[in-house]
Structure 1
Amino acid sequence: MKTLFTGLLLALLAGCAGPDVQQYKALQPALDLPAYFNGTTDAWGMFQRRSGDVVKRFHVVITGTSVDGTLTLDEQFRYDDGSSQRRVWRLTRAADGVWHGRADDVEGEALGELAGNALHWQYTLRLPVDGRSYDMRFDDWMFLIDDCTMINRASMGKFGVELGQVTLMFRRRACAP
């Protein structure tokens, strides 16, 4: 019985370990957040429950500006049910290379590490659902595909249990034909 318990505990701990962003440090093109988000970027995404059911789709128009070391991302969301939302991120890069992000609906501070073509973010987002607000933990990965396209996948959960995933595809308007 002790061996079974130890095996289950090790399997559980191994399942909690995720990839290290540094494994992507040699991948190109290298992601430069201020350069990528300078100007207007469109993103299309969806939220899926843990079961895989798509429950919400959306389009985001992001206006990015960089002034005095602060990257501001003004995000305008339009959901498939006709509702809309706005989030304004203020991002700064510390001397150690860690990105720090704040937004009105982020509890505390988002922290991100960038390496090569990848950015790994972690933060707690207050999500409104049916007139109530829930703090959800996000484990967010962004991968630059080419100079114009980025893919984002975020796991959303509470108390260590994944409740769903958000997937987005970003496209810079400066790349439009």
Structure 2
Amino acid sequence: MKRRLALLALCAPLLLAACASPDVKDYAGEKPVLDLSKYFNGKVDAWGMFTDRSGHVVKRFTVVVDGRWSGDTGTLDEDFTYSDGTKQRRVWTLQRGADGRWTGRAGDVVGEAAGESRGNALHWNYTLALPVDGRVIDVQMDDWMYLMSDDVLLNKTTMSKFGFRLGEVTLAFNRRH
């Protein structure tokens, strides 16, 4: 029994490390460097989908983002059109902080989004007030963005509630010229 406990004690840190999520600092050397104020300055088009926890596509949508900046403060005006014809608008106010830190607010974001960018990646977390079947539930958003080229940005967000994964949002952004 003592040997099993000793073996478990030795293996536990390895098992925990295997379950750890990526750290944005892992992308510090990746290029091109993501600067939100440059990428989201002007019009950007996006195509996305929400998949449930089994991977089934539940909703598809397009987004037109109109970004404007004044110093370290930016406004991203997002117009969503869903495959069922419904529309939604979200307006973000973003603030660049020190050392790659970012904060953001929007009307349907509970509190403040907080994140960090390094290299070609941005990772941030926030709580979204999501309308579902006539009521609003707060879901946690674990949001990753990766700049693939000067014009293409990929976004993957995991949605969860009480620590349980609800699904994912996947987006591909393309800057207009």
Q: TM-score, normalised by structure 2?
A: 0.91
Q: Retained in 1: the 8 A contact 2:78–2:91? A: yes
Of 122, 129, 147, 2:150 maps to 147
Change (3 A) 1:27 1:57: same
The residue that corresponds to 1:163 in the other structure is 166
**Offset of 1:51 from its aligned partner?**
0.3
Q: Does residue 118 of the first structure (1) align with residue 107 of the second (2)?
A: no
Q: Does residue 27 of the first structure (1) align with residue 30 of the second (2)?
A: yes
Matches within 5 A, 1:78-97: 78-97=81-100
Q: Distance in 1 between matches of 2:123 and 2:16?
A: 20
Q: Distance in 2 between matches of 1:6 and 1:47?
A: 40
Matches within 5 A, 1:43-58: 43-58=46-61
* Unaligned residue ranges in structure 1 (runs of 5+): none
Residue type of the partner of 2:92? W
Q: Distance in 2 between matches of 1:38 and 1:147?
A: 12
Change (3 A) 1:108 1:131: same
Residue type of the partner of 2:31? Q
**Offset of 1:173 from its aligned partner?**
1.0
Q: Distance in 1 between matches of 2:137 and 2:74?
A: 27
**Offset of 1:130 from its aligned partner?**
1.2
1:46-71 superposed Cα distances (whole Å, 9 cap, x missing partner): 00001000000000000000014211
Q: Distance in 2 between matches of 1:7 and 1:130?
A: 48
Q: How many residues align?
A: 174
Which moves more between the two structures, 14-23 or 104-113? 14-23
Q: TM-score, normalised by structure 1?
A: 0.91
- Report the secondary structure of 2:29's partner residue: coil
* Unaligned residue ranges in structure 2 (runs of 5+): none
Residue type of the partner of 1:75? E
Max Rg structure: 2
**Offset of 1:161 from its aligned partner?**
1.0
1:60-89 superposed Cα distances (whole Å, 9 cap, x missing partner): 000000014211100000000111100000
Q: Retained in 1: the 8 A contact 2:80–2:88? A: yes
Q: Retained in 1: the 8 A contact 2:100–2:118? A: no
Q: Does residue 98 of the first structure (1) align with residue 77 of the second (2)?
A: no
- Report the secondary structure of 2:25's partner residue: helix
Q: Distance in 2 between matches of 1:5 and 1:91?
A: 45
Change (3 A) 1:70 1:58: same
Residue type of the partner of 1:73? L
Of 59, 62, 86, 1:59 maps to 62
Q: CA RMSD in A?
A: 2.0
Q: Distance in 2 between matches of 1:45 and 1:7?
A: 43
Q: Retained in 1: the 8 A contact 2:44–2:174? A: yes
The residue that corresponds to 2:133 in the other structure is 130
The residue that corresponds to 1:41 in the other structure is 44
Residue type of the partner of 1:83? T
**Offset of 1:96 from its aligned partner?**
3.7
Q: Distance in 1 between matches of 2:120 and 2:87?
A: 30
